[in-house]
Amino acid sequence: MDEFDFARNVTVGQYVPGRSVVHRLDPRAKLGGFIIVLAAIITSDSYIGNAVGLAAAIGIVVLAGIPVGYVLSGVKPIIPILVVFTVFNFLFLGNYDPTGSAVLWRQPVALGPYEFNFTVTESSMKQTVQGVVRIIALIVLTSILTLTTTITGLAKAIELLLSPFRVIKVPGHEAAMILAIAYRFVPTIADELERLMKAQASRGADFGKPGRLRFIQRAKQMIPITVPLFVGAFRRAERLIMAMESRCYIGGHGRTPISLPALRRMDWAALASATVFTLAVWNFPWPL
């Protein structure tokens, strides 16, 4: 394992070129379909329904021809958060269960002057498990969206989806542009970070662990990285502004796309199957 190989662990924001069905879908249909499937995953209140949602997300990964392991490695960075989240939810959520479902386990704890209960109810257990499954499914879905869609395609799709809100003065084009620029620079900044860490390590900087609770030392270690990183980011932003202005960029008002292909049969089929899937997950009488 290489010491400074960051790009390897960043899956969100990467684009993996390919010729699969998922790659070839129109970005508008793809984004719409993903939102519909997402609705199924985050609203289903059964164990099996959630598992089916996760399975569907992984099924899309397989369909796109991208290694499942690579997509799942994007979950790795948030495992610590997931663990803390799960432990706390598991022990305490039952105390605030408004549904009045059956109590599975209750343990009063006295810690010095504090007294409280660990409570697990049927509904709190479900909430905890579903929370984890939903977050993983969410990351898998969003990764597969960016892994198979170019940034420009995605920006156009977002702009289109936001266009109905123009009546209430939502700047859809600007929002899409900001998003596209932010995405565009994730890999650039990651590269820059890697380069700076290597350069400073070559000058004797040590980015090893200074001990878990020594935040100040940790922050000090990072100054030789953060200062040039920000200086570079501002320089790059200025250059981008110059480039946009010299092309007479003025924003969304009155701009039209060079081509606006109609959705093909494949795109409608994808949207329809996403809708059918979601309705099925909602209405199926899951036993658990």
Partner 1 sequence: MSEPIVQVSGLWHWYLRGTPLQTVALQGIDLEIQSDDLAAIMGHTGSGKSTLVQHFNGLLRPHRGSVRVFGSDLSDPKLDVRPLRRRVGLVFQQPEMQLFDPTVGDDIAFGPRQLGCTPEDVRRRVRTAMERVGLGFEDFKDRYTFGLSGGEMRRVALAGVLALEPQLLVLDEPTAGLDPRGRRQLLDSLRAIHADGGMALVIVSHDMDVVGEMARRVFVLAGGKTVMRGGVREVFSRVEELRELGLGIPQVSELAYELRKAGRDVRADVLTADELAEALWTSSTSPAT
Binding site for partner 1 (CB under 8 A): 2-5, 7-8, 14, 16, 66-67, 70, 195-196, 198-206, 223-224, 227-228, 231-232
Please state the closest distance from residue 13 (CB atom) to partner 1, in A. 13
DSSP conformation letters of 211-274: -TT-HHHHHHHHHHHHHHHHHHHHHHHHHHHHHHHHTT---STT---S--PPP-HHHHHHHHHH
Please state the closest distance from residue 203 (CB atom) to partner 1, in A. 4
Please state the closest distance from residue 57 (CB atom) to partner 1, in A. 18
C-alpha distances (whole Å) from 226 to each of 9, 194, 205, 230, 244 are 20, 12, 13, 6, 27
Task: Tell me whether residue 122 or residue 192 sits nearer to partner 1 (CB atom).
Answer: 192
Q: Which residue has the tokens 């110059």?
A: 242
Please state the closest distance from residue 1 (CB atom) to partner 1, in A. 9
Task: Tell me whether residue 13 or residue 94 sits nearer to partner 1 (CB atom).
Answer: 13
Task: Tell me whether residue 43 or residue 226 sits nearer to partner 1 (CB atom).
Answer: 226
Task: Tell me whether residue 179 or residue 229 sits nearer to partner 1 (CB atom).
Answer: 229
C-alpha distances (whole Å) from 20 to each of 23, 62, 66, 170 are 5, 10, 9, 34
Structure tokens at 99: 């549904």
Cβ proximity of 195 and 4 under 8 Å: no
Please state the closest distance from residue 199 (CB atom) to partner 1, in A. 4
* CA–CA distance, 273 with 140 (Å, rounded to integer): 19
Task: Tell me whether residue 202 or residue 256 sits nearer to partner 1 (CB atom).
Answer: 202
Among 42, 8, 48, smallest CA distance to 142 is for 42
Among 181, 222, 178, 179, smallest CA distance to 200 is for 222
Task: Tell me whether residue 42 or residue 63 sits nearer to partner 1 (CB atom).
Answer: 63
Please state the closest distance from residue 77 (CB atom) to partner 1, in A. 15
